[in-house]
Amino acid sequence: MPASDYAETIALIERLHRRFLDVLRVELERLGVDQINNVQSLLLANIGGEEVSVGELMTRGYYLGSNVTYNLKRLVEAGFVEQQRSRHDRRVVRVRLSERGHGLCAQITAMLARHQGQLGARCDLAPLAQLNAELKSLEGFWAGQIGRPGSALGDGAEQHAAARAGH
């Protein structure tokens, strides 16, 4: 792939993420939800039915520390998330969706299903599985590049190859 294709892929990933946040903003407006923003609604969807620590959300790579802390504070204030300190380690805060949070998360899930149906009516969705595999491979490649300045090969390339092979 020429370097220009690589740069275009990176730019497209960023644009798609921003466009999806626009879609979430419009959906929140349609639902009359004005207490939280699109990024916070995506955080709700990422928590889903789990109870997770703030650290777990950051480890998954979804958020930066200050962003997740601020957004969770807003979600707790708006009544979408409940938080509780761990009994075993008082430094750890665990969060889960409240009943209100589950309700909005279900509406976001319904929106995604609606979009999938609309997209499926326009085109074949089978290539999405291949696209997802390629994006996971790219994610693995990038993860392998962290801390390896100037080294385009090595462990990162091996992880990339393993991800492409499905290992």
* Cβ atoms 72, 54 nearer than 8 A: yes
Question: Among 48-52, 87-91, 125-129, whose mean pLDDT is lowest?
Answer: 87-91
Q: Is the pLDDT of residue 1 over 90?
A: no
Domain of residue 102, CATH code: 1.10.10.10
Q: What is the number of structural domains in the chain? A: 2
135 in the same domain as 113: no
pLDDT of 148: 64
132 in the same domain as 77: no
CB atoms near residue 51 (< 10 Å): 13
Q: What is the DSSP string of 2-35?
A: -HHHHHHHHHHHHHHHHHHHHHHHHHHHHHT--S
Structural domain span for residue 75: 3-123
- Tens of pLDDT, residue by residue over 93-143, are 899 999 999 999 999 999 999 999 999 999 999 999 999 999 999 989 998
96 forms beta bridges with 82
